[in-house]
Amino acid sequence: MKHIISVLVQNKFGVLSRVANLFSASVGETQDHSISRMTIVVEGDDPILEQINKQLNKLVDVIKVVDFEGGEFVDRELVLVKINVTSHTRPEIMQVVDIFRARIVNVRERHFTVEVTGTEGKINAFLDLMRPFGIKELARTGKVAMARA
Amino acid sequence: MKHIISVLVQNKFGVLSRVANLFSASVGETQDHSISRMTIVVEGDDPILEQINKQLNKLVDVIKVVDFEGGEFVDRELVLVKINVTSHTRPEIMQVVDIFRARIVNVRERHFTVEVTGTEGKINAFLDLMRPFGIKELARTGKVAMARA
């Protein structure tokens, strides 16, 4: 079972890396510049999750750990993807881009760079549709999440 | 001077944290699941940048270091932001959301959750306009970048 965990940490040198030692995660600023938020995606059952929570709460500079499991939340990720394009495939690619409310952010003769945002499922569906055209390059930000309430 | 550096690393436990020891960065998958891309933003002059490049290239599992400085690139970041809203401020907030091609992803009686993507400058401009309404929560993914060529 996949869990999304949001961790607020003091924005100090070393803290991020100590948490990153446990997982890979997206790290970004919050409304307070001295505090960063890491969003972590982990797969595991309840005992494993409990263990992770304990480990995180042990770190001195961790301010707050929120496991979104069970609660309602919005999660989003951004992906930049460079796709091979020919005069023949162009219309179809543009249609899919439109359906996914993605955006073409750069156009060259032989490729498009597309920005797509959404949940992991939406992004993977988009990438699956683009794969047959040829994906030249791909960069994902990692997830951020926010409680709906 | 701000530099955006893209680092491709083996997706192994510990590698990400060793790089994260040097900086904070966004980390995401690439088209190859065994390889992650870190996008790092550093401020510094040429000797500092040279030093950073050397340090990164020394790490065994670092595959490729690209400094976008000088080249043309697209850079993007995604931000989720929860904004206080009243019946009075709602129309103005929705106008700004529209102008910035942002998206309202969750609506409650007293707040909107908005997804906005763009360059750092665009996102900061959006947040500056939202600040007077009251930002309750903010989560940034960190940057990803891709060469235009």
Q: With an 8 Å Cβ cutoff, is B105 touching chain A?
A: yes
pLDDT of residue A89: 96
Q: Where in chain B is the domain with CATH 3.30.70.260?
A: 2-67
Of B74, B135, B141, the CB nearest to A113: B74
Answer whether CATH 3.30.70.260 is correct for domain B2-67: yes
Q: With an 8 Å Cβ cutoff, is B31 touching chain A?
A: yes
CA dihedral B33, B34, B37, B38 (to 10 degrees): 120
Cα B43 to Cα A57, B13, B21, B46, B132: the distances in Å are 32, 27, 16, 10, 29
B112: how many CB neighbours lie within 10 A of its CB?
Answer: 23
pLDDT means over runs of 10, chain B (149 residues): 70 57 61 74 73 73 74 88 96 96 94 94 94 92 84
Strand intervals (E) in chain A:
2-10, 25-29, 35-43, 62-67, 73-84, 103-107, 111-118, 135-140, 144-147
| Number of Cβ pairs < 8 A linking chain A and chain B | 145
pLDDT of residue B147: 84
pLDDT of residue A111: 95
Q: What angle do CA B75, B77, B82 make, to 5 degrees?
A: 160
Q: Where in chain B is the domain with CATH 3.30.70.1150?
A: 74-147
Q: With an 8 Å Cβ cutoff, is A106 touching chain B?
A: yes
pLDDT in tens, A24-68: 566 666 777 777 777 777 767 777 777 777 777 777 677 777 777
- pLDDT surpassing 90 at residue A140: no
Cβ of A137 within 8 Å of Cβ of B31? The answer is yes
pLDDT of residue A22: 54
Report the CATH number of the B74-147 domain. Answer: 3.30.70.1150
Q: pTM to 2 decimals?
A: 0.76
- Rounded to two decimals, the ipTM of the complex is 0.75
